[in-house]
Amino acid sequence: MNWHGLKAIYLHEMDRMRRTLFQSLVSPFISTSLYFVVFGSAIGSRITEIEGISYGSFIVPGMIMLTVLTQSISNASFGIFFPKFTNTVYELLAAPLSTFEIILGFVGAAATKSLIIGTVIILTAGIFVDLHIEHPFIMMFFLVLTCVTFSLFGFLIGIWADNFEKLQVIPILVITPLVFLGGSFYSINMLPEFWQKISLLNPVLYLVSGFRWSFYEIADVSILTSLITILFFLSACVLTIIYAFSKGYKIKN
């Protein structure tokens, strides 16, 4: 194991966040606040409570999921795309680093960033609503696994993308709609039966539901299903990466 190399990549990536610290931390703070103003106050004044939880509190887990998912993907995909784009990737390829170490460094840093952002959102939400977390360990477990899984997914996108459009197409066209339609801001029980069935095809629903359960013990699907879903995603990403690299897929051709 090239520990110094791994550390160098990790800190180098974290440094990018430090340089844009303001942007990195202030934007989730502001968007969280906006969600509370728009959804919490405007809509919340009409929806007062869902399953005994105030609407403002109800949307917190979904909001965290929305941000953590998109941030993980964009951080990790951009992190590896950037050196390809600037051609500084030569250094990673020439250094005595295994593919595993490179992935660990980039994905580890992206997941860390998302985790920090998730924490900022929880703290911000605490300002607006009364937060209580019923199962903090399960909550952390979900949060960490989601950060890691979607950072891995983002890394794959970053490797695959050879231009900026490709880099953004999956997050914008696939992930964001799935999260919005995955019950982040509502309970699917509020939908007509047909749309409830359709919603169950959305994998993100299971993550949001499980995550919300760790806060309030209310869920659209059972917690076990949610746990299996996130573990399934994680394994799928790991296997895809192993498969891609074993088939000779290169960080850069």
Per CB under 8 A, contacts with another protein among 164-203 are none
Nearest to 73 by CA among 188, 162, 154: 154
Stretch that binds another protein, among 37-45, 90-98, 122-130, 229-237 (CB under 8 A): 90-98
Stretch that binds another protein, among 64-72, 88-96, 130-138, 212-220 (CB under 8 A): 88-96
Q: How many angstroms separate the CA atoms of 168 and 77, rounded?
A: 9
Stretch that binds another protein, among 54-62, 86-94, 171-179, 217-225 (CB under 8 A): 86-94
- Under the binding rule (CB under 8 A), the answer on residue 100 touching another protein is no
Give residue 187's identity as a one-letter amino acid code.
Answer: S
- Under the binding rule (CB under 8 A), the answer on residue 22 touching another protein is no
Measured CA angle at 43 (ends 38, 47), to 5 deg = 150
- Under the binding rule (CB under 8 A), the answer on residue 91 touching another protein is yes
Give residue 243's identity as a one-letter amino acid code.
Answer: Y
Element (H, E) at 147: helix 136-160
Exactly one of 46, 87, 165, 194 binds another protein (CB under 8 A); which one? 87
The answer to whether the beta carbons of residues 154 and 73 sit under 8 Å apart is: yes
The residue among 14 and 131 lying less far from another protein, judged by its C-beta, is: 14
Exactly one of 21, 45, 96, 201 binds another protein (CB under 8 A); which one? 96
Cα 38 to Cα 7, 34, 41, 127, 165: the distances in Å are 41, 6, 6, 16, 30
Residues lying near another protein in the complex (CB under 8 A): 2-5, 7-9, 11-12, 15-16, 19, 83, 86-88, 90-98, 250, 253
